[in-house]
Amino acid sequence: MRDAFTIITERILRDWGGGPICAHVGNIQACTITKHPTYQVLREKVRLGRTKTLASLRLWESVSTLAKEGSQQEREKWLMILLDLLTSHFGGWSKELARKWNYELSDIRSAMVEGALEAWFTTPAGTSSKKLLDAMMKDAFTKARDLVEAGKSETCAASTEYLIADAVHEEETSLRASSIVDAATAVDPDTDEKIRGERIGALLQRMGAMDRAKIHHEKLRRGCRDEAEEPTINAAQVGRSWVDGRNIYCRISDLLPKHIGFNEAANVVGLSPSQASRLAGKDSLSFGVLWIGNSRVVSVAALMNITEIPDSIVHPDDVENGASHVGGE
């Protein structure tokens, strides 16, 4: 009989189980490890029960970080994978609970998924991956025990697929106010936008990182971008995009490397590598960590958010003009 556990697994295998998957940084092209397993192989190696392995805990940390960052679609994907990695260790216990209390197994497993999701959405931001794992496991077990101890079996009138699909959605997030020019306070928003773009271009040129930005700009001009990745633009920017034939605006983080090393990230927040490592050991680090083998990296976009650096919207023409001024072109 299909239940919440099997539905989650089936959806993942259907959508992402055919080829290799990168659970380190979420993108095989951006990962330094050359070989990646399929999801089925990855899932079989994970141990999150009583016999937790170091490799499994590192994988959990990376996946939980990916489930908190990126676009809504990416967050949903990794949250589903997070749930599947967790619930794969609940099979035996849920069967034993159903047998002992003569209760419907599918109801118990739905309650466990509900408990795990409640812990995910209610656990305070900044909670370490280890504490998050403990909270999700605890709430899943508690929800199941509360269900059977209530003394009666209740089944959701809607299908389990509806429950799962609805539960993993978060509210749409909007861009930071600081990333949009406020027409009420700016004398000339168009000029403000151009200055911002040229300053970024000048900075990238001085850093020797403008070649990467130009490659990204060419992809935008060729239309090589998913519509879901397009930043939200205002009415004036729509007019400028109409001239180009498409929305080619991008965020500053799009022009930067996707990840930086753990030591560099520590330096950004004013910590030495040893201080950051000690805080990570105490589950007190302010930023999420992605594991690539024995190496740690941090998402640049997430680090910008933590340090309150606005991920502003810029136009490629402005960025390239700023780089040209500095380069003497």
Confidence band for 82, pLDDT divided at 50, 70 and 90: very high
What pLDDT, on the 0 to 100 scale, is given for residue 134?
92
H-helix or E-strand containing 290? strand 290-292
Distance CA 54, CA 65 (A): 17
pLDDT digits (tens, 9 = 90+) for 273-288: 899 888 888 778 888 8
Percent share of the chain, pLDDT over 70? 85
Rounded mean pLDDT of 277-304? 87
Q: Say what the pLDDT of residue 192 is.
A: 81
Residues 147, 111: contact at Cβ < 8 Å? yes
Q: What is the pLDDT of residue 45?
A: 86
pLDDT at 172 over 90: no
* C-alpha angle 319-220-191 in degrees, rounded to nearest 5: 35
Question: Residue range 125-151: average pLDDT?
Answer: 88
Whether the CB-CB separation of 23 and 128 falls below 8 Å is answered with: no
The pLDDT, as a whole number, for residue 329 is 56
pLDDT of residue 242: 59
Q: Which residue has the higher pLDDT, 154 or 220?
A: 220
Average pLDDT over residues 34-63: 87
Q: What is the pLDDT of residue 142?
A: 94
